[in-house]
Structure 1
Amino acid sequence: MNFNVTTPEAAQTLWVVADRIRLLGGIAGSSLELIEVEVPPGSGTPPHSHASPELFYVLEGTLTVRHFVAGGPPEMTVAGPGTSVRIGPRAPHNYSNDSGRPVRMLVLVEPSMIAFFRDIGTVEPQAQPDFARIGAAMQRHGIEALPVAA
């Protein structure tokens, strides 16, 4: 199809642990998919890496993004509205909402990440994440969890 419209009501919405992800669609003939992610205060991802590069664009709130560098402390970026953060393939990283307000961002990813989100996402928020199920899905999708520094 050469023309497609996805309204907020029509977008598939998934809950990935506490974050709400809306799948907005991709560009035909490319490997890019656009998602909207809402990150509540205190939520985020553990340190990890994956083959898919990502591009975050913060619309609302303040997101803390960490890039983990071998042998040193993580490089930390506090990204506010209008800030974009590019994460390369296999770059060790995580994000967190350390503020008291929700964060809303657009994220460009490859279809492999969409498949992962569909695998672990639920239609309702999760009171308690199933870490065993998430860990198994990470292995299936080539997402590596990184050790958390003490």
Structure 2
Amino acid sequence: MKTNGKKEELIVLTDVIKVLVSNTETGNEYAVFEENVPPLGGPPPHMHPDEEIFYIVKGEFEFILNDIQNPFKALEGSVVHVPSNALHTFKNIGKTPGKMIVLLSPGKLLDYFRVIGKYVDETTELPDLTKVPDISKLDVTKVFEFAPGHNVQFVLPEIMEN
């Protein structure tokens, strides 16, 4: 497979995602995207059927995979595998923007990002990825509203600790 042309870009929560290989190009076999994450950026703890493989290109991240008591660091060059339906989250714990290449399989999670995210075009104001995002200003209505239809489950920190 060869991909050409302009890449689809989305703002999803605090992050900017550039789709490198779309799930529509692979018949929902997989998808690949670049994810740019500001300091302290990252999603709430969640689960979904897609497997994920994260390759850390730049930055310092902390991941949780199934066990809230045992977060671990992932630095440049690290690879983190998240199995299907595993409870997980990540956070950029560095002081500068981080970058990851993410492989999704089968890639259907990308459809969820398209629903909850904002498409980037030449008129879109991109978030300043050098600054810690103000989470209180995020509109997360669509994030939770459309999660069940895409088999995404969010887990509150209080539940994770029990």
Normalising to structure 2: TM-score of the pair? 0.80
* Cα deviation digits, residues 66-118 of structure 1 (max 9, x gap): 1133xxx4321211111100000110010001211111000001321110111
Q: Partner of 1:52 in structure 2?
A: 50
Does residue 1:145 correspond to 2:154, yes or no?
yes
Determine which of 82, 85, 96 is the counterpart of 1:101: 96
Q: Please give the residue correspondences for 1:1-150 in structure 2 after superposition, counting only pairs within 5 Å.
A: 3-6=1-4, 10-26=6-22, 28=26, 31-69=29-67, 73-109=68-104, 110-122=106-118, 123=120, 124=124, 125=126, 128-149=137-158
What residue identity is the alignment partner of 1:43? G
Whether the 8 Å CA contact 2:50–2:108 is kept in 1: the answer is: yes
Distance 1:93 1:74, change over 3 A: farther
Query: What's the Cα RMSD here?
Result: 2.0
